[in-house]
Amino acid sequence: MSKPNVIFQIVRRGGSLFSLIKKLWQHPKGRVGLILVSLLVLTAVLAPVLAPYDPYDVTQRAAKGLRPSLQHPLGTSITTGQDILSMLIYGSRVSLMIGVSTGIAIAFLGALMGVMAGYIGGFADSLIMRVVDVLLVIPTLPLIIVLTNLLGRSYFVIILVFVAFGWTGLARVIRSMVLVLKNSNYVKAAELAGASRWYIMTKHILPGTSHLIIMNTTLTCAGIMVAEAGLSFLGLGDPTAISWGKMLAEAQGGGALLFGAWWWILAPGAGIFLAVFSFMRIGIVMEEVFNPRMKASSGIYKLFKHLNNRYLDEVFRSMDDEGDPVTSEGSDTPPPPLSGGGHD
């Protein structure tokens, strides 16, 4: 089975991507998230059209430290007189690009590792879980700082490092899910019918985890956006691009706090907040849609507070300790596929 087919399977399971979006749209919170995310995407794509000034163009810079006015809706910076609104609009490109591409890459790597660990088991499982254990104890932010220092401060490297250390959480979730699916009747039937391991993995196991993968991806995107903002704030992002974290760092370094230029701090902060918030909203609503039992609950969003979601450790520990992952789910049935158990 080729790769596009796998993606197709993930999205298609029990309904199309369209029906997923429709479900999100029908949910009041999900609608807010969808609107915000589409606005964000539009802003990022149309940045050169929307931005009143070109933030990279040094010849257009206005008077320094202007308060918000009609000419400059969010004012200008104190140090260089750059238009804040234009910077804000251009900054959305970085956040979105890094967040989404890292999220998708993590989805692939995490799903692959999780399925391998869960389905193949044995040596592959213990190897992957040892790697996860090691990655969990190494402090993430310092390690990312060291690696960007060594490999260069381009966005490619930053994404690479985020992916290399961000997949552990998803792999653990998927692994436990696969352990449940592995013992289900339809997988056993496929095995008896002589299906190959690869076939079962891509055709039966992976689609069964698709809802988890999609949900986790939106939450990972949100988490990565916060992490990227932090990295840029420390001056460790790509030095050539305008990003929200870098704007905040420039604002602090340029004396925005001292001279009371609140617009210079609030704008990028609001940008980060809205972007992360909308992605998280979608993730949380997805959780409710996919798993109505867990409605209004569960703090799954807490998982992505850190790159490695540590809360899951507790979940896993309790699952492993109780010996049977199924019982801790409180149900014998595998979780509903994408279309099942919709939110009413």
Residues near other proteins, by CB under 8 A: 129-130, 133-134, 136-143, 145-147, 149-151, 222-223, 226, 229-230, 233-234, 248, 251-252, 256-258, 260, 262, 265, 269, 272-273, 276-277, 280-281, 284, 296-299, 301-302, 304-306, 310-311, 313-314, 316-318, 320-323
Residue 327 DSSP label: H
86 vs 232, which CB is nearer to other proteins?
232
44 vs 284, which CB is nearer to other proteins?
284
CB of residue 271 vs other proteins: minimum separation in angstroms?
10
12 vs 305, which CB is nearer to other proteins?
305
* CA–CA dist 249, 232 (Å, integer): 8
State the first-to-last Cα distance of the chain, in angstroms, to the nearest integer: 35
Q: How far is CA 253 from CA 93, 126, 174, in A?
A: 23, 47, 43
CB of residue 290 vs other proteins: minimum separation in angstroms?
17
- Whether residue 64 contacts residue 76, with contact meaning beta carbons closer than 8 Å, is answered with yes
Long-range contacts of 258-267 (CB under 8 A, 24+ apart): 259/65, 259/78, 261/65, 261/75, 261/77, 261/78, 263/67, 263/68, 263/74, 263/75, 263/84, 264/75, 264/77, 264/78, 264/84, 267/74, 267/84, 267/85, 267/87, 267/88
CB of residue 253 vs other proteins: minimum separation in angstroms?
11
CB of residue 191 vs other proteins: minimum separation in angstroms?
23
71 vs 297, which CB is nearer to other proteins?
297
- Whether residue 283 contacts residue 30, with contact meaning beta carbons closer than 8 Å, is answered with no
* CA–CA dist 54, 63 (Å, integer): 15
CB of residue 150 vs other proteins: minimum separation in angstroms?
5
The closest alpha carbon to 117, from 16, 243, 201, belongs to 201
CB of residue 258 vs other proteins: minimum separation in angstroms?
6
CB of residue 190 vs other proteins: minimum separation in angstroms?
26
* CA–CA dist 79, 164 (Å, integer): 37
Which H helix or E strand runs over 229?
Answer: helix 210-233
- Whether residue 168 contacts residue 135, with contact meaning beta carbons closer than 8 Å, is answered with yes
141 vs 241, which CB is nearer to other proteins?
141
The closest alpha carbon to 277, from 248, 308, 304, belongs to 304
122 vs 194, which CB is nearer to other proteins?
122
CB of residue 266 vs other proteins: minimum separation in angstroms?
8
22 vs 317, which CB is nearer to other proteins?
317
53 vs 263, which CB is nearer to other proteins?
263
